[in-house]
A and B are shown apart, each in its own frame.
Chain A
């Protein structure tokens, strides 16, 4: 069966450290992988997109890697801040079909 798993349901990290979140998928061949942030009581908000032929993408303090051999994406937040505390979701877009499937999410808490 198809699965998108984010290894940690919850992750606590000290302010200033780098947070690393993992997204693993099985039985998908995604054309794109996206990362979203969701705050309590709100809808997810898009952060970054990485294509299957890209290894790494950066945006300010955020970095995403995509390894189609390992079927894994890593999401890094450097110099983490308490304001980064939220749930982070990875999502896959499959080629040829207009589907956007989400992972299980990781709730990140940055401790001051």
Chain B
């Protein structure tokens, strides 16, 4: 059983298109995240969702929007894709409530997005 799964693993698309990346976790965690990892391998947090509430949103263009239909899912929608959006996007989840607070985050395998 995969703890955090994201699809697709690879995504090649043209500039201007709209695309989505899906993420699901089966760990019962209350917090899910989206990270962008650029060519220099820096993991930059984009969004985190706690109990379906957006709790941080870094300096991310509003072309990016997280959608959480329920606690186990956090999808990433990207509108009007640009060349600079090419990167690896990681979904993660963790527990931030009670005794589980601050414990490990589990990551998906990543989605390599290439905008051409």
Q: Which residues of A contact B (CB under 8 A)?
A: 31-32, 34, 38, 41-46, 49, 51, 87, 89, 91, 93, 97-102, 104-105, 107
CB pair A89–B104 under 8 Å, yes or no, is: no
CB pair B106–A98 under 8 Å, yes or no, is: no
Chain A residues contacting B44 (CB-CB under 8 Å) are 102
Q: Size range of the interface on B?
A: 20 to 34
CB pair B102–A42 under 8 Å, yes or no, is: no
9 chain-A/chain-B pairs, Cβ below 8 angstroms: A42-B110, A43-B4, A43-B109, A44-B105, A46-B105, A49-B104, A97-B55, A100-B45, A102-B45
Interface of A: prevailing SS:
strand
Q: Mark B48-85, 1 if CB is under 8 A from A, else 0.
A: 10100001100000000000000000000000000000
